[in-house]
Amino acid sequence: MPDRPTASPRLPAPNGGAFQRQIVFWLAALLLFILLLWLLADILLPFVAGLAIAYLLKPLTDRLERAGVNRLAAALVIITVVVLAIVVLILLVAPILGGQLWSFIDNIPGYVTKLQSLLSDPSRPWVQKLVGAGFNTDKGVSDLVTQGAGWLTAFLKSLWSGGRALVSLFSLVVITPVVAFYLLYDWHTMIRVVDSWVPLRQRDTVRALAREIDAAIAGFVRGQSAVCLILGSFYAIALTLTGLNFGLLIGLLSGVITFIPYVGSMTGLILALGVAVAQFWPDYTSIGVVLGIFLLGQFLEGNVLSPKLVGESVGLHPVWLIFALLAFGYLFGFVGLLVAVPLAATIGVLARFALRRYLESSLYTGEPTA
């Protein structure tokens, strides 16, 4: 959330009793939503994924409709093209990535042994000074790898168990495009229906908050998705051309986890450098090239891609976003990861609105209410 609240139009406040009843009502609705999310997490994945796809593709559908294309036809064509593109991409890339993933897992013990030997080499005392004289490399690195592997296994298991009970791969592939199509086609109708449910006295306030929430979500989700796609392609191609083992896998993974600010880029950098050192040592040039690729990627992200595609003010502080992704991912599995950003943006907007109301209230100013 931003450090200071943004200005907003002064809106008439409802009377105290009605306002308190509305607060109770919306808090109860929020608790009911969280309860349903927790209870139905095992079957929500296709629907949440379809909603995410529809939200990402809505601007394109609206543009085609404004150009004179029937919305039904526009939604059908867009979903068909997206599904075909995903299927072709999976058929082309999945076998390669699957092979690299299993090969990478098989080579982890060899990489760990190589790194251990480099850290414990007595001809390089500066390494011992760097990591600490009391650092036991054999035990320390082994324990680190064991803990990391255990954490990764538990994390993947939690994501899988979050959807495996009732949602199979078949249902995800079949239901998600259908849900996305109907949401694209009926998007504006659904918005009008929901808008008609809002109390008349608070309709302007709710609309203003909804626009602010949409701007925050769109600014980050659509923009950051484009950043991840561009960086993932850049890292994958560049690392593969350098001859780094599993360069395609590491590059694409680095691009995907760039969705998490700072954590994603650092994870990709450490993973790539670890493989580079184990593979190229003592070829400092090749290791430096791998490091340079990530430094260039970070420069492009911070100075070109993020300012142009994401924007400077989307209302999501990196710390708040990281917390939301970890918390919702832990609680709800993969579904939680999908809804973390929209819910974090919504909570941020509502928190800023509550802060503005507090700063305007007599509780803060000390002035009696009229």
pLDDT, one tens digit per residue, over 278-306 is 877 777 888 888 889 888 888 888 777 77
What's the pLDDT score for residue 1?
Answer: 43
> What residues have CB less than 8 Å from 93, skipping those under 6 apart?
none
11 in a domain, yes or no?
Answer: no
Among 169, 197, 225, give the residue marking a domain's end. 197
Q: Are residues 80 and 170 in the same domain?
A: yes
Q: Are residues 87 and 137 in the same domain?
A: yes
Q: Are residues 188 and 218 in the same domain?
A: no
What's the pLDDT score for residue 40?
Answer: 76
Q: Are residues 141 and 230 in the same domain?
A: no
Q: Are residues 221 and 130 in the same domain?
A: no
Alpha-carbon distances, residue 223 vs 68, 232, 256, 265, 313 (angstroms): 27, 14, 13, 17, 12
Neighbour-count burial for 37-65, b at 16+ CB within 10 Å, e otherwise: beeebbebbbbbbbbbbbbbbbeebeebb
By C-alpha distance, which of 31, 329, 48, 324 is closest to 162?
Answer: 329
Dihedral of CA atoms 240, 244, 248, 252 in degrees, nearest 10, equals -110
| CA-based radius of gyration for the chain | 25
Q: Are residues 172 and 265 in the same domain?
A: no
What is the Cα–Cα distance from 301 to 297, expressed in whole angstroms?
A: 6
Helix (H, G, I), strand (E, B) or coil at 312: coil
CB 275 within 8 A of CB 245: yes
Domain count, the chain: 2
What's the pLDDT score for residue 20?
Answer: 65
What's the pLDDT score for residue 240?
Answer: 87
Dihedral of CA atoms 189, 194, 199, 204 in degrees, nearest 10, equals -70
What's the pLDDT score for residue 364?
Answer: 74
For 312, the token pair is: 């400077």
What is the Cα–Cα distance from 51 to 251, expressed in whole angstroms?
A: 28
Among 163, 197, 231, give the residue marking a domain's end. 197
Q: Are residues 335 and 227 in the same domain?
A: yes
22 in a domain, yes or no?
Answer: no
What is the Cα–Cα distance from 160 to 334, expressed in whole angstroms?
A: 8
20 in a domain, yes or no?
Answer: no
What's the pLDDT score for residue 256?
Answer: 81
Q: Which stretches of the chain drop beneath a pLDDT of 70?
A: 1-20, 22-23, 41, 115-116, 118-171, 261-263, 310-316, 368-370
What's the pLDDT score for residue 133?
Answer: 46
Q: Are residues 220 and 178 in the same domain?
A: no
């694409």: which residue's tokens?
252
Q: Are residues 76 and 98 in the same domain?
A: yes
> Domain span at residue 119?
40-197
What is the Cα–Cα distance from 30 to 336, expressed in whole angstroms?
A: 16
Q: Are residues 167 and 233 in the same domain?
A: no
Q: Are residues 78 and 141 in the same domain?
A: yes
Among 150, 173, 197, give the residue marking a domain's end. 197
Helix (H, G, I), strand (E, B) or coil at 203: helix
What is the Cα–Cα distance from 124 to 256, expressed in whole angstroms?
A: 36
By C-alpha distance, which of 354, 335, 359 is closest to 26?
Answer: 354
Query: How far is C-alpha 123 from the geometric centre of its chain's CA atoms?
Result: 44
CB 43 within 8 A of CB 153: no
